Structure 1
């Protein structure tokens, strides 16, 4: 038995995902979206089936007719199977739901795998009045779709070609600077950087801040090696070590542009009986919860995805109310989360 509105643990008011309705009805996700979008091409039998399940799961009648509370969508493109399996975007989602719940805004949630093409029918434009969108990376066809939007859009992150849209971002340049500053503070003399694709602005910005700090401190660039991975997952960190690791040099440290990369690096080093941090140091980026549970605990530059979500839904609400001043860029400051993977002669 489903309640009319399901409330998450933070009090956020939200609607079931299109995937949930699809799984229960046996109807394709794109068809579910078309039904909610009142597409005339869908048969009456299919419409009735989908709308009956949607109502049981918590779609109030006034939403289908376009009246009552505002409806928005949080749409994510990422390499994980779901938002819930991505600690960063699930944190953003919690912030959005809390903010939406306190403003009587209903929030649809939908995600796609970032390597798949974008299907426009997944976003029911006759139903939603605003969008919050994020992704690492974001498919080009989704960018094209967003650039033509007539409804308010707030981006989570920075994306080339979408600079005219409102966005809330991690200050990745500042975060990269903090990571390099910590390496210098510990007096490391050799650095290996393991990063996701440098054509993704998230990683480009982190590297920009990192090398800015090294330059300001006259750190020799010939002592820095960069390993660029196709993605930024744990397996990529492992592969980077397996393919490129030599005997660790004196006072060497590895900077990973995500915590997942750092986790894979640490596991691969431990498999090779390399002691961390006595033989080599590691610093990550993200501040994900598992950094506190690994052995040793990972030193990392921490982000605040929950705050990103809260700010995003506030910006979107203001845009929906006609406040054009909210169509700007907001940066959220990262901070250093100390662990046990750095050791030096401070």
Structure 2
């Protein structure tokens, strides 16, 4: 049986943007995709639904022999085995059956069940639920829109004001949505944004060298970029070298790594998220409110370090 493959379709994700035009990532409204591409999807899977047609018995039996109806209970569930006979005849082959129209009340459910059989996604999927090729940030890096993280944060640093508004926006979204995967994706996004704030702070402290060759600049950029992209230890070490201060505590790092590794493995119950640590394989549970408080404490401490550093260099 053939299944849905997103790579066979020209899918254009929509962009989710928060306060101050900060990009959370892409999302796809699969229900709208199903609706917009209904005829094309049916044709792709060679499904014939003779809406509103009168069928001879031979044509009706041909309809029933389609794979999707042989392997599911769609026919029985939606009474497609109890259709009205509009033309009676002593000759069975001349009997005519009226197939329902597309406008009838249960037609949407029939289409939905057919699409479910072929595993066409439904609902809305956000950045970290989507295949990599449909993700905003993956494509940004894949297509070399960002030459390096160092150059990116030098050109487009994340400001403290933007960070605060964005985190407030994410916290509100987490509170308002009932979609478990959306909650986990938003939480992961908040961690990545906190990471971006730290990287912006690091890059802002690195002096822009003008009296060195382009070759030397390239080496410098590559070295800094490797530390920014490296593990937490490398990044924290670079921060310590630049500011002579320890990085503010990032208590969410283990959860961040777990979600990035396998976002589906974490579970959400009420206002808490549970995950398996990649370090010790133990399960931990964290309250959403505490996660956002930790990140706001991080933001305030980082801002204070930078303000103190500015004062000391005056």
Which structure has more relative contact order (CA 8 Å, sep 6+)? It is 1
- The structure whose residues are more often helix, as a share, is 2
> Of the two, which has the highest radius of gyration?
2
- State the TM-score, normalized to the length of structure 2: 0.26
Which structure features the higher share of strand residues?
A: 1
Query: TM-score, with normalisation over the residues of structure 1?
Result: 0.24
